[in-house]
Amino acid sequence: MSSKSKEKTTTPVKKEQSIFKFIIPGYKPKPYDKKLLTAKEKKAIKYLENKTKAIKHSDGTFFEHLYGTFSILKELNQSDDVCMAGLFHSIYGTEFFQPGLKIDEKEVVSYIGEYSNRLVKIFCEPNRDSTIYLNNRNYETQFNLDLLYILFTNMLEQLPVVDETKVTIQLNKEPNDEIGKMFGRYKIALQRLEQIKGKICFLHRFGSPPTKGPVIS
């Protein structure tokens, strides 16, 4: 007698997108398709757009930057909480950018929830880069990782589209100008993400050999 083995069927698992694609020279993330937005996201975006569309930021508007950050987090398959925090990430103003808005925190919480608002508030605090990179407040790993993704995508959304040579130079030279400083913070965020996620990936893209020890001391 011959027995046929039953084929196992598995439910496809939603995988986190590789960050590598976002650092390919010349790649610029596309805005998230508004047709795919949930009702909650649409309400939050409408509120945010009314508040921020007239404020200048980088080469566009503050709203475009916020939505761009949200879009990258969406493409990276981050959680709804992280994406919503990314959408509002600097709404309260940061040490680098002050939109000058009068914001009711309770109203923000009603749109994005307590967890997302907590991420936003930490992102808007002074010395946020070192707080998040070094985790000197000992946040639990997932929370720190969520903050790192917001920090990373915030910087990534603002990076100019450049060729590989310029990226390599910028990432390996001493940052002595604004773009250099941005690339420097960008590199640290990439390293810290990889350290927490327990992977070695993509840093060799910029001529830096992978290391087995801690990236940040």
pLDDT 10s digits, 127-146 = 887 788 878 888 888 898 89
Q: Is 136 a member of any domain? A: yes
Burial code (b: 16+ CB inside 10 Å, e: under 16) for 71-85 equals bbbbebebebbbbbb
Sign of CA dihedral 128, 130, 131, 134: positive
pTM of the model: 0.72
152, 120: one domain = yes
- 20-24, 114-118, 124-128: which has the minimum mean pLDDT? 20-24
Rounded to whole angstroms, how far apart are CA atoms 138 and 167?
Answer: 32
47, 90: one domain = yes
* Between 90 and 180, the higher pLDDT residue: 90
* Between 27 and 211, the higher pLDDT residue: 27
Q: What tens digit of pLDDT does each residue of 72-109 get? A: 899 888 999 999 999 999 999 998 899 999 999 999 99
Write the CB contacts of 126 (distance below 8 Å, at least 6 apart in sequence). 95
In 3D space, the residue among 151, 150, 146 whose CA is nearest the CA of residue 129 turns out to be 151
Q: Angle at Cα 141 formed by Cα 139 and Cα 145, nearest 5°?
A: 100
123, 57: one domain = yes
Which of 32-46, 54-68, 144-158 shows the highest mean pLDDT?
32-46
Range of the domain at 168: 161-207
Q: Is 29 a member of any domain? A: no
136, 178: one domain = no
Residue 18, Cβ neighbours under 10 Å: how many? 12
Q: For tokens 């992102």, name the residue.
A: 123
Q: Is 19 a member of any domain? A: no
Rounded to whole angstroms, how far apart are CA atoms 154 and 89?
Answer: 8
58, 129: one domain = yes
Q: Is 217 a member of any domain? A: no
Query: What is the enclosing helix (H) or strand (E) of 56?
Result: strand 56-57
122, 178: one domain = no
Cα-to-chain-centroid distance, residue 184: 16
90, 67: one domain = yes
62, 147: one domain = yes
92, 190: one domain = no
11: pLDDT strictly greater than 50: no
- Total domains, the chain: 2
